[in-house]
Amino acid sequence: MSAVDLTLADALDRLARKDISAVELTEAHLEQMARHRSLNAYLVETPERALGEARASDARRAQGQAGPLDGIPLGIKDLFCTKGVETTAGSRMLENFVPTYESTVTANLWRDGAVMLGKLNMDEFAMGSSNMTSAYGPVENPWRRPGSNAKLVPGGSSGGSASAVAARMALGATGTDTGGSIRQPAAFCGIVGIKPTYGRCSRWGTIAFASSLDQAGPFARTVKDTAILLRSMSGFDRKDSTSVDMPVPDWVKDCVGNVRGMRIGIPRQYRIDGMPAEIERVWNQGAQWLRDAGAEIVEIDLPHTKYALPTYYVVAPAECSSNLARYDGVRYGHRGEGATLTELYENSRAEGFGAEVKRRIMIGTYVLSAGYYDAYYLKAQQVRALIARDFTLAFEKCDAILTPTAPSSAFAIGEKMDDPIAMYLNDVFTVPASLAGLPGISVPAGLGDDGLPLGLQILGKPFDESGVFRVAQAIEDAAGFTAKPALLAS
Amino acid sequence: MAELIRGTTGDWEMVIGLEVHAQVTSKSKLFSGAPTDFGAEPNTQVSLVDAAMPGMLPVLNGFVVEQAVKTGLGLNAQVNKRSVFERKNYFYPDLPQGYQISQFQHPIVGKGEVEIDLPDGTTKSIGVTRLHLEQDAGKSLHDQDPRKTFVDLNRSGVALMEIVSEPDMRSADEAAAYVRKLRAILRYLGTCDGNMDEGSMRCDVNLSMRKPGAPLGTRCEIKNVNSIRFVMAAIEYEARRQVEILEDGGKIDQETRLWDTRQGITRSMRSKEEAHDYRYFPDPDLLPLVLEDGLIERMQATLPELPDAKKHRFMGEWGLSAYDSGVLVAEQERAAFYEEVAKGRDPKLAANWTITELLGALNREGKDLADSPVSASKLGGLIDLIQDNTISGRIAKEVFAEMVESGKDAASIVEAKGLRQVVDTGAIDKLVDEVMAANPDKVAEYRSGKDKLFGFFVGQAMKASGGKANPALLNETLKKKLAP
């Protein structure tokens, strides 16, 4: 078994036993990255830095000073500012932008000894569900439909992260999730991805898309691996006023798959019209697995679910229209030529931003403008409160909620590209929990009719990542998902 | 005092409201730890947050919140336990975020009032609509390069309190009195240094005209009027401009105008149609501000005695006039100086010497009380010499001039120059005898009924004493000896 096929937990064990060195582990991943460069998952590779960090990690371990993630090679979504390393947010606007500071989340990972392999491709400013909006080209999913050469999307916006972890180009990766940007690509790439409760991970140094929704989280190939990573990434940060000052539990202890006595809610309203049979099948299968493991399955109501997508597509663009105003060509980033100030603004932003980002800035500007604010933004905030209340009431009847992660498996590059609404529907199951700030995980549950992975989503109460991990582990144990991407078989 | 403008169609009344932007006295900015020192090299007081680098987040400065609460209490205003920071969105190079974080629907301070002192000695209450916290922008420098605009972000993110008044003022004098009183209150509280020439206090004037008793007219807002003198000049100019338009049958366009300091006029900046749509919405990077229990009470306990309370105390406790009290409390240092001078002395004498002589002298030399060569204890020493008859009031003025010049204390000047009053009756008898002996004919005239000559004798005797004879004693002796 190659070092790149190890789980993160196994790699830590082997490092501890000195069966493998951090340098060997890092070299194996750097080789894998070179082998699958055509996936376009990495925007920047940092091999020298990675090897330097790996050597330092081995030295620490030799002195008995290894941290919880010491020597673990990770990929970092390009939304996280990394000191001295280009950070583009997948946008031409920030081409060649090199931060002088390190995001809190990545700083926490380096504090615990992790090694950075490079920066991962993503939808521009995290806006997208396919990774097609990146200014640096689409990312390819390492999975293929059996008998087809059609290149598939990895999902988005954290498409590079999901593709890299699925293709064994990292033991784990960071992602961010605003409306499903961790959970949907995890499902599309057959790996695990968790968005913790809003406020668990500091947003400081992570480039903002929609501040009230953005939340960082990890990708890995097992539930336990994501628990290990999330523990390092989380924690109160006084530099982020929305960060929550709560102790970070040792979630690995929750990855035992014991769901006996737990009540698992199945939301009636998630059985949407036209949902593919395979999605329904895997969802029912998941419920059955949990029932078999001793959980009680209860039907629940989340009556405002149908308003979640439109609400999200008012709130998120509104915040993004303001958050992205700082990219004006004046202080940093792309500057267009212009004889007047207005021309400078217009050309900088017209050239620097891609079509999807512009679309959302325009939607956001519209919904906040005088005369429309009450009808759109204010109404959306009110509906958002109702959606959050739906969950509060539902959690009186259950301890966690089980749903599909996405309404389909990965689609081909080029599909759905001309219809933004069809693209937005990808987020139909992930967006409600984002609006409510709840923790949600996607776990691979099996392969669909097209031979591609399908994910199940588990949602928990605020700050009950423990419960989420517990149920996720039970699904993982029952699913026994061992399928590998086509790319790795060849 | 409404100041009416006479037009051909009758009298016109001004309706004035002010928005004052007061920089909060604090070491660091509203949402970042960068320093706020005035006059620093450009772009040296700028944090990553102030420059709006990607991924940076605002963190509210708790001290600034306390300062705003304190100010609210000082304005007798409602302090709101819950307030909300919102984003005011617009593009400008000196606004790095592309939005200003401000308070809109839910300000930290609500309705209050300020009592202003008018030149005729009366007072008037001016309503305060609200006070909210907001970030200052940076500064665009258009005069450094023929083609480029330079941007200095030192001010970017500095905490401002915007204090909005009700449209309660009716003349330039009232507006000036309001700004003066507001500035005095802020200085007393230590929440804003009130230095208008350093830009730590700036004014926007809202003005409309109407026939007395008529409904409100259409207003214009005049931006960035940065001294009390300019506030008055801008009001006078704008009032006349509006009256001219109205009397010609025209209509006032609601617009934003700019005070042109050089030409002394207001100029149109943008019309209502060109007004920005600021797209306010609650800042998702910041939670609503909820004041902790006890904060308001704690701030209440730190409030100093404010100008109006002090003024009324001076009138009651020291028996001073409203005018003198008003002058003395205008600045906290001045009031404290006076109280030190007055302690254990004649309060009215102390007030006269502080206001007329000392403040007069400082004013002539363009100095502040802080630079005064005459300290409170030295001025007190001078007054002591007057009160114990060591010197006369007239000599005291001479001594005082010397004190201002040299900074020496009164007693040593009196000693060195031999200015001590002559109170020795023998010496005065001798003086009077000599004057009478030198003017026998005048003595005879006086004794025959020409009373007016008494002044002549006083003058001669005083002159002979070098001005040092105690006036009362001299009068008494002359009366006795000249008596027929």
State the CATH number of the domain containing residue A213: 3.90.1300.10
Q: What is the pLDDT of residues A227-279, one digit of tens each?
A: 999 999 999 999 999 999 999 999 999 999 899 999 999 999 999 888 899 99
Q: What is the pLDDT of residues A154-169, one digit of tens each?
A: 999 999 999 999 999 9
Q: What's the mean pLDDT in A411-425?
A: 81
Task: Annotate A290-330 with three-state secondary structure.
Answer: HHHCCCEEEEECCCCHHHHHHHHHHHHHHHHHHHHHHCCCC
Chain B interface with A: residues with Cβ < 8 Å: 48, 51-60, 87, 89, 91, 93, 96-99, 149, 151, 277, 279-281, 284-287
Which residue is closest to A239 within chain B, CA to CA? Answer: B59
B425-482: CATH topology is Arc Repressor Mutant, subunit A (1.10.10)
Q: Of A208, A328, A373, which is closest to B55 when you measure between CB atoms?
A: A208
Given a cut of 90, is residue B200 above it in pLDDT?
yes
Cβ <8 Å between A210 and B284? yes
**CA distances (Å), origin A265, targets A143, A184, A197, A261, A440:** 31, 20, 18, 13, 14
Which residue is closest to B147 within chain A, CA to CA? Answer: A339
A58 in contact with chain B, both atoms CB, cutoff 8 A: no
Report the complex ipTM: 0.96
What residue ranges do the domains of chain B occupy? 5-299, 305-417, 425-482
The pLDDT value given to residue B1? 59
A343 in contact with chain B, both atoms CB, cutoff 8 A: no
Asked if residue A346 belongs to a domain, the reply is no
Asked if residue A338 belongs to a domain, the reply is no
A174 or B464: which leads in pLDDT: A174
The pLDDT value given to residue A11? 98
Asked if residue A201 belongs to a domain, the reply is yes
Q: What's the mean pLDDT in B427-454?
A: 87
A210 in contact with chain B, both atoms CB, cutoff 8 A: yes
The pLDDT value given to residue B421? 75
Interface test with A, best of B57, B88, B97, B101 (most A CBs within 10 A): B57
**CA distances (Å), origin A138, targets A133, A159, B458:** 7, 9, 109
Residue pair B428/B422 in contact (Cβ under 8 Å)? The answer is yes
The pLDDT value given to residue B285? 98
Grade residue A490 by pLDDT with cuts at 50, 70 and 90. Answer: low
Show residues of chain A in contact with B54, CB under 8 Å: 81, 87, 89, 94, 97, 99, 207-208, 326
Range of the domain at A25: 3-261+398-489
Asked if residue A270 belongs to a domain, the reply is no
| Of the listed ranges A55-64, A441-450, B386-395, the one predicted with least confidence | B386-395
Residue pair A399/A264 in contact (Cβ under 8 Å)? The answer is yes
How many whole angstroms separate alpha carbon B403 and alpha carbon A358? 73
Show residues of chain B in contact with A94, CB under 8 Å: 54
Q: What is the pLDDT of residues B19-34, one digit of tens each?
A: 999 999 999 999 999 9
For residue B32, the one-letter residue type is: S
Other CB atoms within 10 Å distance of the CB of residue B76:
16
Cβ <8 Å between B48 and A101? yes
Cβ <8 Å between A99 and B99? no
Show residues of chain A in contact with B52, CB under 8 Å: 326, 331
Q: What is the pLDDT of residues A47-101, one digit of tens each?
A: 999 999 999 999 999 999 999 999 999 999 999 999 999 999 999 999 999 999 9
Cβ <8 Å between A101 and B59? no
Q: A212 to chain B, minimum CA–CA distance in Å?
A: 5
Q: Is B456 left (phi over 0), alpha (psi -120 to 50) or beta?
A: alpha
Which residue is closest to A79 within chain B, CA to CA? Answer: B55
How many whole angstroms separate alpha carbon B190 and alpha carbon B176? 21
Contacts of A484 (CB under 8 A, 6+ apart): none
Number of compact structural domains in chain A: 1
3-state secondary structure of B427: helix
Which residue is closest to A332 within chain B, CA to CA? Answer: B53
Q: What is the pLDDT of residues B224-269, one digit of tens each?
A: 899 999 999 999 999 999 999 999 999 999 999 999 999 999 999 9
Given a cut of 80, is residue B171 above it in pLDDT?
yes
Asked if residue A77 belongs to a domain, the reply is yes
Interface test with B, best of A328, A337, A345, A366 (most B CBs within 10 A): A328
Supply the residues of A annotated as catalytic.
Answer: 77, 157, 181
Nearest to B161 by CA among B191, B188, B133, B186: B133
